[in-house]
Amino acid sequence: MSKVRLALRHTEGEAAADKLDRAAAAEAEAQDEAREDGPLAIAQCACCLRTPRTEVMDCRRCDAVLCPTCLEGRRECPICGQDFTACPPRRNKWAERLIRRTRRM
């Protein structure tokens, strides 16, 4: 137990110490999200803005990244409007390797 939490618990009570713990957890989560905005920002899906967990697909015209979930049922690129029936998206293995390596860190 940290000295700050002990002091807060002593002066303000357990509820204040729990509030401090929740704030610390929220800050840690924000740092995790900021880390994903780092090198993985280029591999975020153009629709849901999340980093794909499996395959990474991209538009052949504008290189917009799409996750398999958002790509399912989509007929055109959300960025440039490229028709996917005429020119289907391609798998981006470079982005997949980047995601795997960054997540190991």
Residues of the chain below pLDDT 70: 1-13, 15-21, 23-39, 105
pLDDT for 82 equals 93
pLDDT for 83 equals 95
Q: In whole angstroms, how large is the CA radius of gyration of the chain?
A: 21
**Closest alpha carbon to 46 in 67, 26, 25:** 67
pLDDT for 59 equals 94
Full DSSP string of the chain: --HHHHHHHHHT-HHHHHHHHHHHHHHHHHHHHHHHHTGGGGGS-TTT----SS--EE-TTT--EE-HHHHTT--B-TTT--BTTTS--EE-HHHHHHHHHHHH-
101, 48, 33, 54: CA torsion to nearest 10: -20
Q: pTM for this one?
A: 0.58
pLDDT for 104 equals 74
Task: Tell me which architecture the domain covering 43-105 has in CATH.
Answer: 2-Layer Sandwich (3.30)
- Going from N- to C-terminal start, the domains of the chain cover 1-37, 43-105
Q: Which residue is it, tokens 């995601």?
A: 99
pLDDT for 31 equals 53
